[in-house]
Structure 1
Amino acid sequence: MVGEFDGRLTYGADNPSGLPPEVVVYREKLREDRIRRVAAGVVRFGRAELMNPPRLAALLRQAGVVLSRSAAWPELRAQVSTGSDARSRVAG
Structure 2
Amino acid sequence: MGVIHRDLTPENFLLLNKDKNSPLKSIDFGVSNFYKPGDVFKDIVGNAYYIALEVLKRKYESEADIWSIGVILYVLLCGVSPIWVGKIFISL
Query: TM class by shorter-chain length?
Result: under 0.3
The structure with more radius of gyration: 1
**TM-score, normalization by structure 2:** 0.27
Q: Which has the higher helix share?
A: 1
- Which structure carries more strand by proportion? 2
Normalising by structure 1, what TM-score? 0.27
